A and B are shown apart, each in its own frame.
Chain A
Amino acid sequence: MIRLDRVSKTFPGQTTPAVAELSFDIDEGEIVVLVGPSGCGKTTTLKMINRLVEATSGTISVAGTDITSVPAPVLRQGIGYVIQRIGLFPHRTIAENIATVPALLGWEKDRINQRVDELIVLVGLTPEMKTRYPAELSGGQQQRVGVARALAADPPVLLMDEPFGAVDPIVRGRLQEELLDLQRRVHKTIVFVTHDIDEAIKLGDRVAILNVGGILEQYASPAEILRSPANRFVEEFLGEDRSLKRLSLTPISDVDLVAGPIVEPTATRGDVEATMKEHGVDWVGVGTDGRLHGWVWGEDVTGTAGDLEPRPFSVRLSADRSLREALDSVVSSHTGVAIVDDGDRYLGMLSIEEISRHLIE
């Protein structure tokens, strides 16, 4: 969908290029995140795609067309653009802001109004906001308007330059979720720039890690990058907690669960001791008919395991949660395991050994 072929940019008055001989492809419908330290040319690269920055050499094509073959304003009307500082027009209402590109393209009034109504709902705003001015909205709401405005003329490509950089972490997290949710519905080709590796891992179908001077160090899926960083730079950029980041990308369902030390309520002290010895633990889970009621300390069992009131497991996770959450549950529980169920039926448990085995594989 987007192809960069040996693209370089040297700004006037500078001797070293900001971006040097950069080549990569972006497929239709994927989110590609450009990430790297400041000075890595990620924003420059993004802006070369809509020609806010003209490449010094090399070619960029969007949907097979060389971007220099059309006038820049025409090119830009066909590419959504969202920036960190949003840049809503303060003298225009929310509806007018969203209608910016359709108005530039000369759409009929009815069609514009209909589209604005659709977008207001799509990005999670309420219709009464249409007649307000941008200054009357919160930062998060303004950025939703920014996204709606970029999507207004239904462009196939969306360029996003650190769009969530200026909002607080809670709103940022929510906007990220919303973007992923939105993407499942609109299927755009999105190029997203950030300096935040966690954001890149969370949002990207593929992540391009750039080094100072616009050098592409690695271009792969987040899982691939975390599993096998291409070089020392990537490794350092990913940070010390690379393994934990990998865990946050992996759902529990990717790992084989074990049944664990589980006994029926009718189990005697002898049965309990045998189960504990087999698993090397000092507790047992008590369950029956595919349900897990709770757990008891083995030494407390005198008659049968069912005589005791079982202690509840503090956290039970569903299989679509991440291994990172499972690990959190493991390290914060008496039993040292994460219990996985589907709300009703017990599916199995995860110990720290299972989790680390998955990482090492």
Chain B
Amino acid sequence: MIVAQADGDPFVRWDWIWGHLDLVWEKVLEHLVLTGIALGIGLTVALLLSALALRFRKTYAPITWVTGIAYSIPSLALFAFLVPITGFTILTAEIGLVSYTLLILIRNVVAGIDGVDPAIKEAATGMGYTRRRLFFQIELPLALPVIIAGLRIAGVTTIGLVTVTALIGQGGVGFFILRGLNRFFSTEIVLGTMLSVILAVAVDLSLLGLERILTPWSKRTGSAT
């Protein structure tokens, strides 16, 4: 990317960043909210579609096919397509962001649940678990490590994609990148990029921490067989 410099400015003007910390904080929060909503809705929809795919196996191929197509549409094109319908709104942003999480999340939920030891399912069913209880109390908790692994990939992807939504007036820290490009102001471009990377790492590590907390049994294993 070629960055034009305003005359006489250094590459990064730290004084500008210090002077706009309020705006930085606002955009970081916006970024996290956009990501959080996308992951929350994405996971909910993915769980529902996964439950459907697990219950009726024939639906799994069409579900991954449709979400796979959604995943392969360039984000820029998707937002451009949605704007005439839903405008420059958060709804437009979230439709795009959510649809990009689905393929990853559904694949991991289904793989996680399929990966539960059949002996465990047989024992549970043999002791009188209903299908629903088996799913929520046994399969879902045991699939958590794989589901959270999917959530981490989806999280990192979403943090990156949120910056693109700056084009439709959303965008979190993408705001800085877009404005920097428009104003030939490298400080904002660097700021937006760095914040995006930091947020991606932070989200990834938080989800890893969440996994540790939610699956206390897996950390103590391996000491005996």
Contact with B along A128-171 (1 / 0, CB 8 A): 00000101111100000010011000000001000000000000
**Could you list which residues of chain A lie within 8 angstroms of chain B, going by C-beta atoms?**
50, 52, 73-78, 81, 83, 85-92, 100-101, 104, 133, 135-139, 146, 149-150, 159
Closest to A90 in B: B217
Q: Are A52 and B224 in contact (CB under 8 A)?
A: no
Closest to A50 in B: B126
Contacts known (A91-B215, A104-B127); A139 close to B225, Cβ less than 8 A: yes
Interface assignment of B120: CB less than 8 Å from any CB of chain A: yes
Q: Are A88 and B123 in contact (CB under 8 A)?
A: yes
Contacts known (A90-B142, A91-B215); A52 close to B225, Cβ less than 8 A: no
* Secondary structure type dominating chain B contacts: helix
Output the least CB separation between B171 and chain A (Å): 39
List, in ascending order, chain B residues with CB within 8 A of A90's CB.
Answer: 120, 142, 217-218, 221
Q: Are B217 and A87 in contact (CB under 8 A)?
A: no
Instruction: Give the contact-size bracket for chain B.
Output: 20 to 34
List, in ascending order, chain B residues with CB within 8 A of A100's CB.
Answer: 124, 127
Q: Are B123 and A73 in contact (CB under 8 A)?
A: no
CA distance A44 to B12 in the complex (A): 73
* Secondary structure type dominating chain A contacts: mixed
Interface assignment of B122: CB less than 8 Å from any CB of chain A: yes
Closest to A159 in B: B126
Contacts known (A86-B119, A90-B142, A139-B225); A133 close to B126, Cβ less than 8 A: no
Can you list 11 A-B pairs with a CB-CB distance of less than 8 A? A76-B127, A76-B128, A77-B128, A85-B119, A86-B119, A87-B124, A91-B142, A100-B127, A101-B128, A135-B217, A146-B123
Instruction: Identify which of B120, B130, B221 gathers the most chain A CB atoms within 10 Å of its CB.
Output: B120
Q: Are A83 and B126 in contact (CB under 8 A)?
A: yes
List, in ascending order, chain B residues with CB within 8 A of A133's CB.
Answer: 217, 220-221
Contacts known (A77-B128, A139-B225); A87 close to B141, Cβ less than 8 A: no
